[in-house]
């Protein structure tokens, strides 16, 4: 196992991969096919452009774009210039993206042009076009430049081509010198994740944590040189970027980024590119198995599936092995505050273990379950899941109070999840203290959705819970108290929500009530609401 001691940093990993796997195919995007040597050269060119444009070590550089070769190059280029990467969810609306850009004080932003019919540039302008700042987006005074990952950009933004050209005067020695100044303990990225208050918090993760965690992931999964990895998990998520891009760099696997989940495209890619590795949420694999034309595609190269982020039916594991002849199916559990990886099943685990648990703690990581008083509980007793180890974040970005609320003096991280450990140390997540629910693999936080719904002029009070959904696993249901005299309908509110928030946050059901059930301290009793809804 190589790990952080050999690579030192993510730029070290990129250079190592460019040398070790020089002639191997690194990225396939449509007709574009580049080797690891060429990928290394492109990343170095992007890093040079970042240096030329004033990016300093420790500056935050954000990226708001779907899974593409340009995402890989721009993100790794920024990190190679010493920047701290801030990935933005492609499902964010302009206001949501603006909030994270403001909180992180990002100095530079890479953004896609139009994606799924939405102009991200126009969305940013609407949300951040007014304010005191002198830059291209006045409401974001720290944001000095916006680079559009296309050949067309507004006059005060820059195209990707022009940005790359601007770095031609920066030599390789200067770029590599910048990377050499990074240490294993330097922050590599800030992943923003909502907490129980609904206010996004940025988990700060270092180069060493990232490299060590995903070398372990690659080892446990059995990823190897020559694998062809279809990366459907979004790059803005740890599962896509670290268990995808970085894991491939570690092992010399070929990356095949797919910007949008579409089962027909997945089937076509798996068949035409001889895809062998396909991680993703259970909904992805269920869609694959149930596709009426599945047998028309050659899926015989598939050998490795890693899933999680939701309950995994035993039947799904059995079908993947029996119908698609997949050798290795694994489940895992993680959260942004723990570098995205905490527990993982091992190759050779029985299907019931893989389906009913998220496996055991990864090496050099401890997992315990405690009661509300912090007393450690025995096997098969539910309590809050705590994690300690190399993978636990340094803290939330510039948020001492938020950090103190989840990290104790002994290094234990409170996950907010309720779980059970069995006699063998396998973890089963049973509930969520944070009320979070998972929509097709995306974490949805009721507190955040409730805050957004509360902005509607006809909403007097609101509570959101997760309810079962046959396709997505869970979806949101909103219990709403209308303002006096309002004739707001469920369809009206859902349509409004689709304009104001990322689609996975939009409630699929709305029920109007006279009042919400609350306890003596005024908190909504969500258990009562869940009792009203079919589970």
Span 422-452, pLDDT tens digits? 999 999 987 677 778 889 988 887 878 887 8
Query: Residue 197 pLDDT > 80, yes or no?
Result: no
Extract the tokens encoding 192: 């923003």
Greatest distance between any 2 Cα atoms in the chain: 69
Residues ≥6 apart with Cβ < 8 Å to 374: none
User: What is the DSSP secondary structure assignment for residue 312, as one 8-state letter?
Assistant: -
- Report CA-CA distances (Å) from 450 to 314, 371, 477, 485, 519: 34, 28, 11, 21, 18
Give the pLDDT score at 196. Answer: 40
Among left, alpha and beta (phi > 0; psi -120 to 50; other), residue 28 is beta
**CATH 3.40.50.980, the chain: domain bounds:** 4-192
- Percent of the chain whose predicted confidence (pLDDT) is above 90: 76
- Report CA-CA distances (Å) from 419 to 80, 364, 414: 38, 20, 12
Kindly report the CATH number that applies to the domain delimited by 4-192. 3.40.50.980
Query: Residue 495 pLDDT > 90, yes or no?
Result: yes
E strands, 258-310, in order = 304-308
The strand pair at 187-194 and 437-439 is best described as unpaired
More confident residue, 328 or 309: 328
The strand pair at 32-35 and 84-87 is best described as unpaired
Burial class (CB in 10 A: 0-12, 13-18, 19+), 470: exposed
**Mean pLDDT of all residues in the chain?**
92
Among left, alpha and beta (phi > 0; psi -120 to 50; other), residue 445 is beta
Query: Residue 276 pLDDT > 90, yes or no?
Result: yes
Query: What band does 129 get if pLDDT is binned at 50, 70 and 90?
Result: confident
The SS3 call for residue 512 is strand
Query: What band does 2 get if pLDDT is binned at 50, 70 and 90?
Result: low
* For the chain, counts of helices (H) and of strands (E): 19, 27
Query: What band does 418 get if pLDDT is binned at 50, 70 and 90?
Result: confident
Span of 27-31, 99-103, 434-438 with lowest mean pLDDT? 434-438
Q: Which pTM was predicted?
A: 0.86
CA–CA–CA angle 229, 231, 234 (5° rounding) = 160
Query: What band does 195 get if pLDDT is binned at 50, 70 and 90?
Result: very low
Extract the tokens encoding 282: 């259970």
More confident residue, 62 or 95: 62
Mean pLDDT, range 256-266, rounded to an integer: 95
**CATH 3.30.300.30, the chain: domain bounds:** 437-532
Closest by alpha carbon to 451, among 212, 217, 198? Answer: 198
Query: What band does 311 get if pLDDT is binned at 50, 70 and 90?
Result: low
Indicate the CATH number of 261-432 among 3.10.150.10, 3.40.50.10680, 3.40.50.12780, 3.40.50.2300: 3.40.50.12780
More confident residue, 294 or 314: 294
Closest by alpha carbon to 494, among 527, 535, 462, 531? Answer: 462
- CATH superfamily, region 437-532: ANL, C-terminal domain (3.30.300.30)
Q: How many residues does the chain have?
A: 535
Residues ≥6 apart with Cβ < 8 Å to 193: 200, 201, 202, 203, 335, 336, 337, 443
CA 145 vs. chain centroid, Å, equals 24
Span of 75-79, 114-118, 375-379 with lowest mean pLDDT? 114-118
């Amino acid at each position: 196992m190589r790990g952080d001691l050999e690579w030192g940093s993510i730029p070290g990993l990129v250079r190592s991969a460019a040398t070790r796997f020089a002639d191997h195919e690194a990225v396939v995007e449509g007709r574009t096919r580049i080797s690891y040597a060429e990928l290394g050269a492109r990343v170095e060119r992007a890093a040079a452009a970042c240096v030329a444009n004033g990016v300093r070590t420790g500056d935050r550089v954000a990226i708001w774009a779907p899974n593409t070769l340009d995402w890989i190059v721009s993100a790794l280029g920024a990190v190679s210039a010493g920047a701290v990467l801030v990935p933005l969810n492609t499902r964010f609306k302009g206001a949501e993206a603006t909030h994270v850009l403001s909180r992180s004080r990002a100095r530079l932003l890479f953004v896609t042009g139009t994606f799924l019919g939405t102009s991200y540039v126009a969305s940013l302008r609407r949300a951040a076009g007014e304010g005191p700042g002198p830059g291209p987006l006045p409401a974001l005074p720290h944001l000095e430049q916006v680079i559009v990952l296309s050949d067309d950009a507004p006059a005060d933004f820059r195209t990707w081509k022009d940005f790359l050209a601007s770095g031609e005067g920066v030599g390789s020695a200067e770029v590599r010198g910048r990377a050499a100044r990074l240490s294993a303990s330097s922050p590599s990225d800030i992943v923003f994740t909502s907490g129980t208050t609904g206010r996004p918090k940025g988990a700060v993760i270092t180069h060493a944590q990232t490299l060590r965690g995903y070398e372990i992931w690659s080892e446990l999964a059995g990823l190897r040189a020559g694998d062809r990895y279809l990366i459907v998990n979004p790059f803005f998520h740890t599962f896509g970027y670290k268990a995808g891009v970085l894991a491939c760099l570690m092992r010399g696997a070929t990356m095949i980024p797919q910007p949008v989940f579409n089962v027909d495209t997945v089937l076509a890619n798996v068949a035409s590119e001889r895809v062998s590795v396909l991680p993703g949420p259970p909904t992805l694999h269920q869609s694959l198995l149930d596709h009426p034309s599945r047998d028309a595609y050659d899926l015989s190269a598939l050998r490795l599936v890693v899933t999680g982020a939701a309950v995994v039916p035993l039947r799904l594991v059995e079908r993947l092995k029996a119908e698609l002849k997949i050798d290795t199916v694994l489940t895992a559990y993680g959260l942004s505050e723990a570098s995205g990886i905490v527990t993982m099943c091992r190759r050779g685990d029985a299907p019931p273990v893989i389906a009913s648990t998220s496996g055991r703690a990864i090496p050099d990581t401890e997992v315990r379950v405690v009661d509300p008083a912090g007393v450690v509980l025995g096997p098969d007793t539910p309590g809050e899941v705590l994690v300690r180890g190399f993978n636990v974040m340094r803290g939330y970005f510039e948020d001492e109070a938020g950090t103190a609320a989840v990290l104790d003096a002994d290094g234990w991280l409170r996950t907010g999840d309720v779980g059970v450990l069995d006699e063998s140390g396998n973890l089963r997540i049973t509930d969520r203290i944070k009320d979070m629910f998972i929509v097709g693999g995306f974490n949805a936080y009721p507190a955040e959705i409730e805050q957004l719904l509360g902005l509607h002029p006809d909403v007097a009070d609101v509570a959101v819970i997760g309810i079962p959904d046959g396709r997505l696993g869970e979806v949101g249901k909103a219990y709403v108290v209308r303002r006096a005299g309002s004739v707001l309908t469920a369809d009206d509110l859902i349509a409004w929500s689709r304009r104001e928030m990322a689609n996975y946050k939009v409630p699929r059901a709305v029920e109007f009530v006279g009042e919400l059930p609350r306890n003596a301290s005024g908190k909504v009793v969500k258990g009562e609401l869940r009792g009203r809804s079919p589970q």
